[in-house]
């Protein structure tokens, strides 16, 4: 990744998702209601021509739709497909952080910090959604270990912590 997660994310999105010919091509990017961190702006740039990159199973909200939580403290930018949880960023009047902490909130539970900041989270989200929304499926329950290893032998591990796996031990919870 050479430290440039935004470039890797854009390369993945443009390489995995075909551009939609009838997607709107605005002369100016749509201006969001609230100031967005660089990571979300970089994510939305290729997503304008590739709407499936916003998610199939779960969704990153379009740049123009950024609700806040009921207390007005968090900027909600992503939602689970059944509304069971959402992802948000701490919203301040000082403007967005460069690479803020992403907070997961299930129903009315206190928010819990994701293991990766926004730049890593968006990569994790994109990889997960590409797998969940693929036009093909593969199940390993009837394959030998050798058959499972064959299609993955050329892949390299992604240098990110696991997606949606809370850290063991103490969990960082947003103070109330």
Report whether pLDDT(172) > 90: no
pLDDT digits (tens, 9 = 90+) for 57-95: 899 998 788 788 777 788 899 999 888 889 999 877 677
pLDDT digits (tens, 9 = 90+) for 10-50: 999 999 999 987 655 544 444 444 577 888 988 999 999 99
**Ranges of each domain in the chain:** 5-152
Distances from the Cα of 54 to the Cαs of 25, 31, 60, 91, in angstroms? 16, 17, 5, 21
Give the residue among 78, 89, 10, 1 at the shortest CA–CA distance from 43: 10
d(CA 30, CA 43): 13
């Amino acid at each position: 990744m050479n430290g440039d997660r935004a470039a890797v994310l854009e390369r993945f999105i443009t390489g995995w998702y075909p551009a939609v010919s009838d997607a709107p091509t605005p002369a100016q990017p749509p201006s969001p209601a609230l100031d967005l961190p660089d990571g979300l702006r970089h994510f939305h740039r290729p997503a304008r021509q590739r709407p499936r990159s916003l998610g199939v199973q779960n969704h990153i909200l379009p740049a123009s739709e950024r609700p806040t939580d009921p207390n007005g403290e968090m900027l909600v930018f992503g939602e689970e497909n059944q509304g069971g949880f959402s992802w948000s960023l701490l919203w301040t009047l000082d403007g967005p952080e460069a690479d803020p902490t992403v907070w997961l909130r299930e129903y009315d539970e206190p928010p819990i910090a994701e293991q990766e900041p926004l730049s890593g989270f968006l990569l994790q989200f994109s990889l997960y959604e590409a797998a969940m929304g693929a036009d093909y499926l593969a199940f390993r329950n009837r394959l030998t270990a050798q058959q499972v290893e064959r299609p993955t032998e050329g892949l390299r591990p992604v240098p990110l912590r696991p997606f949606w796996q809370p850290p063991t031990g103490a969990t960082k919870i947003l103070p109330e």
